[in-house]
Structure 1
Amino acid sequence: MKNIKRRQFLAQSSAVAVSAAAVLPRSGSGQDSPAEKLNLAVIGCTNQGGAIGSQAIKNSLTHCVALCDVVPSRAEGLKAKMKGQCDDAVVFDDFREMFTKMAGKIDVCTIGVPDHAHFPIAMLAMSLGINVYVEKPLAHTFEECELLMAAEQKYNVKCQMGNQGHSSNQRLQFQSWVDAGIIKNVRRVDACMNKGRRWHPWGDIQSFPAAEKMPQGMNWDVWAGTAPKHPYNGKYDPGNWRGWYDYGNGAFGDWGPHTLDTVHRFLKLGLPHEIRAEKIEKPNEFIFPHATTIAFDFAERGPDMPAMTINWYDGVKNRPASAEDVDIPSCGKAIFSDDLTFVGGTHSASLKIVGGERQDDVKASLPELPESETSTNHMNNFLRAAAGLDSYCNSSFAVSGPLTQVFMLGCIAQRLGENLQFDTKTKQITNNARANELLKGHAPRPGWEEYYKLA
């Protein structure tokens, strides 16, 4: 691997300063493994963070040198689970301290933390020349996605968002069917997530919850990061943050990346010009609604890609009307073109042709899936790209950033319950001042502003 000049970000209590640091050179062999292993840091060591961290630790391309979690005992728990594979990893409860002390010793990191904390960690790592794997959704706001995409280019690092199906045969199937003209002239997609969510039993929240005793040793200030810092409560951590506007992105941000990634990428959707809040069940000022139907209108993109609409349905009983005619999974989608209908699930689930004038002819001549070195395990693709063994990450920020921005627009419509007009050139919401402010979200807390200046 080539030498990478890194800037060492020195976090202090009241300000953040930037200075220069360098990494020891690692020579790439161009063969099946690098001359040296990639030094790995795992940030977020429980739940999904622990799952992706475990995948990275077990990969033959890595050597884990650091574990970081706001509750250090969770990092120690991951050590125990890995049974000797990361015993010498240094444990931190603050990613800023970890990067200050070890930036020159880290080549790659996984980031599996609440949505609101993705951005500062990823920005700091990228500014240091560290390759990053960020669990989906990419960030917490539209603007954060924009800055992460810019940073990916500026710092020339390998970046992967954790929508794992984008390294599966499902991606290759969709791409090959578009290339073969099987998927074309799509007018509508109905996508849904009809499972219960953590916040559904909470009822009508009237305020932020009262303070509770934190887990022993928890670094709550780092957990809050750039977001508003409310007193600790179990309705925030672990996992419950998904339902709060301040910290999560609801069902859409959670499942959209696994459901609509190939539709967005290979139908070249870009950003919608209108977002319509067609149903909001139990709206709330603090948490996401219990059920929503949000429609996204996209302009024509060229031959065989007419203007089209994506309809998103979440909520236990909020099923698409089309589900009465085609068997859409509770987490899945139906794709309607001029002469074919497709149904598929999420992640690596394949598409099926279930209707349309051309279905008999098309089913008789489906293309074989192409052989590809990047049809692989998603984590392995990231690590191989970081090691110079794959040329690109399948869900780089250039790919996953605009996808996530669609979800961020949908989350704003869910929150406000209003239709939004979006200028795709200026990337501004033109008919609602508050909605336009939410493209940025909350101003960062004092002491956390510097991350927004690194792109």
Structure 2
Amino acid sequence: MSKNTNKSRRSFLKNTALGAAGFMIVPRHVLGKGFVAPSDKLIVAGVGAGGKGRSDLANFYKSGKAEIGFLCDVDDRMAEESRKSFPKAKYYKDWREMLDKESKSFDAVSVSTPDHTHAVVAMAAMRRKKHVYVQKPLTHDIHEARMLTEAADKFKVVTQMGNQGSSGDGVRQMQEWFDAGVIGDVHTVYIFTNRPIWPQGIAWPSAKPAVPQGLDWDLWLGTAPYKDYIDNLIPGSWRGWWDYGTGALGDLGCHLMEAPFRILGLQYALDVQASVTSVFTAFGKRGYFPDSFPPSSHAILTFPKTSKTQGEVIMHWMDGGIKPERPAELGADEVFGDGNSGILFVGTKGKMMASEYAANPRLLPLKRNEEVKIPQTIKRVPGSADGHYAQWVEGCIAGYGNMELSSPFKKAGPLTEAILMANLAIKAADTPKPRANGKGNDYPGANTKLLWDHQNMRVTNLEEVNQFVKREYRKGWTLDF
């Protein structure tokens, strides 16, 4: 090779690999089709570097096949530990700036922000042909979930939602039992959780404390309407506020509802209804807290017959510590689910249950687990639920369409839509409508089964609830496709 060629090559490597990111790895896509980076590692940019984002990034790195090249967080306090763990990763506060300046230097983006900004970050990354890993739930709104699902296919990128249980052995064991006919045809599924573990059914605080140093509050708000900063919102209590979170359903629904979706082949629901716990003020007056989710709820979804069922499937969601009646086959002192959360499949020939993440699957009565022996027919994910991260990394390296993943958007999208449909019913049941005579309120959504047109993404028999299918973003924010 000539001296000039060697000099050009050194300049290229210096500019692409060492200039901004500070690590000795050339992003895989930079070398072009047919070439592989010397390390063959995926370069990941993390948007949301604290809390769950920190553990996600650590698990990608732990796979041995990924490097964390860039970190981004609107809150320097939340990002501190990740910056210590990955000192060579370049740090940004605004993910839009990072994508604009550095997109040629990384292959994939991990999105672990509050729910209300999942969609805009993921969409912007996919438009740049970046593979994406998005924490659960996939989105805040039904419309966003549909858009991300379609975008993943359009841009041909590898996607994964962060519901690790979908890679677990438990759901695969239950699927083998069901496929073998052990519990017969499933017509009803019960899902329950003790969440929320943060305050709900409360008023937005009136105090206006100073914004903490290191937090860009306006950027944290993102697509949501502007409100003054309040204490105790970050890192976790935002889940209980409609503008930012998706409540208990968004927190655990993807971990609990994924199993019946996978096992029974569920897609879009036909209808949904809900009841909620009311908060009463003095003199028995029902309180109205439009910013906050109710303390507990019970939603019932109806799914149409699938190729795996003989008829419709009814799914019950219960949160706030509400539980279904204990199965008659479960002993008086035997634990239902894992005590806090659980999944119960009711079939024509028997029942099966599991804990959170679909872990610890059991046939009922429990003695059946010693009697029933079904051969393994479904391949397990290496590392089970913990292997969810490495699976995505390896899928990105393999390229779009070359490897099966547990929770790509084509699966995660419909699952998320069902979760958000249940939230629609909860919102409707908790929203008052003043009576015509001006004396008190009615709650029409509490007494209505919402009929769903999934093709057009709208409720057909209660128009006012459709405003929550696709929320209006704050000025300056869009979901570009």
TM-score band w.r.t. shorter chain: 0.7 to 0.9
Name the counterpart of 1:10. none
Partner secondary structure for residue 353 of structure 1: strand
Structure 2 Cα separation of the partners of residues 382 and 424 of structure 1: 29
State the 1:370 CA deviation: 3.6
Distance 2:277 2:51 in 1: 30
Offset, 1:65? 1.4
Distance of 1:325 and 1:290 partners within structure 2: 30
Conserved 8 A contact 1:94-1:219: no
Distance (whole Å) between structure 2 residues aligned to residue 49 and residue 274 of structure 1 = 34
Whole-angstrom CA distance in 2 between matches of 1:194 and 1:438:
25
Q: How does 1:124-163 map to 2 (within 5 A)?
A: 124-163=124-163
> Could you tell which deviates more after superposition, 168-177 or 275-284?
275-284
For residue 223 of structure 1, give the secondary structure of its aligned residue in structure 2. helix
**Residue matched to 1:378:** 388
Q: Name the counterpart of 1:287.
A: 292
Question: Is 414-423 or 243-252 further displaced after alignment?
Answer: 414-423
Offset of residue 195 of structure 1? 4.2
Aligned pair partner of 1:24 in 16, 25, 30: 30
Deviations 1:63-96 (A, max 9, x none): 221110101343232122x2xxx22111111000
- SS of equivalent to 1:285: coil
1:415 aligned partner: 427
Equivalent residue pairs, number: 418
User: Which residue is 2:463 aligned to?
Assistant: 433
Q: Is the contact between residue 273 and residue 421 of structure 1 (CA under 8 Å) also seen in structure 2?
A: yes
- Matching residue of 1:204: 202
Return the offset for 1:305: 3.5
Say whether residues 1:214 and 2:223 are aligned partners: no
Q: Give the direction of change, closer, same or farther, for the CA distance of 1:360–1:37 in structure 2 (3 Å limit).
A: closer
Does 1:50 find its partner at 2:77?
no
TM-score of the aligned structures, taking structure 1 as reference length = 0.85
CA contact (8 A) 1:34 1:61 kept: no
Once residues 421 and 257 of structure 2 are traced to their aligned partners in structure 1, the CA distance between those partners, rounded to angstroms, is 14
Alpha-carbon distance in 1 for matches of 2:106, 2:245: 28
**Partner in structure 1 of residue 227 of structure 2:** 230
SS at the partner of 1:322? coil
State which of 341, 364, 381 in structure 2 corresponds to 1:354: 364
Structure 2 residue aligned with 1:13: none
Aligned mates of 1:192, 1:364 — CA distance in 2: 26
Greater Rg, structure 1 or structure 2?
2
5+ residue gaps in structure 2? 1-27, 280-287, 331-335, 430-444
CA contact (8 A) 1:76 1:91 kept: no
1:289-310: per-residue Cα shift (whole Å, max 9, x none)?
1111111111222464421211
Q: CA deviation at 1:236?
A: 2.4
Q: Match for 1:94: what amino acid?
A: D
Alignment pair present for 1:310 and 2:315: yes
- Equivalent residue letter for 1:445: R
Q: Does 1:319 align with 2:323?
A: yes
**Residues of 1 paired with 2:43 and 2:349: CA distance?**
51
* Alignment correspondent of 1:446: 475
Residue deviations 1:248-284, cap 9 Å, x none? 0000111111111020122122121111113433363
TM-aligned CA distance change 1:373 to 1:156, over 3 Å: same
Change (3 A) 1:275 1:370: closer
Task: Give 2:352's aligned residue.
Answer: 342
Whether 1:251 aligns to 2:248 is yes
Question: What runs of 5+ residues in structure 1 fail to find an aligned partner?
Answer: 1-21
Measured in 2, the distance between the counterparts of 1:426 and 1:42 equals: 34
Structure 2 counterpart of 1:299, one-letter code:
P
Residues 49, 73 of structure 2: 8 Å contact kept: yes
Distance 1:288 1:257 in 2: 18
Q: Which amino acid aligns with 2:376?
A: E
Correspondence for 2:72 among 65, 68, 71: 68
Q: Which amino acid aligns with 1:295?
A: I
Residue 432 of structure 2 corresponds to which residue in structure 1?
none
SS at match of 2:326: helix
8 Å contact kept, 2:152–2:159: yes
Q: Look up the SS of the partner of 2:277 in the other structure.
A: strand
Which of 68-77 and 371-380 deviates more? 371-380
Q: TM-score, normalised by structure 2?
A: 0.81
Q: 5 Å matches for 1:118-129?
A: 118-129=118-129
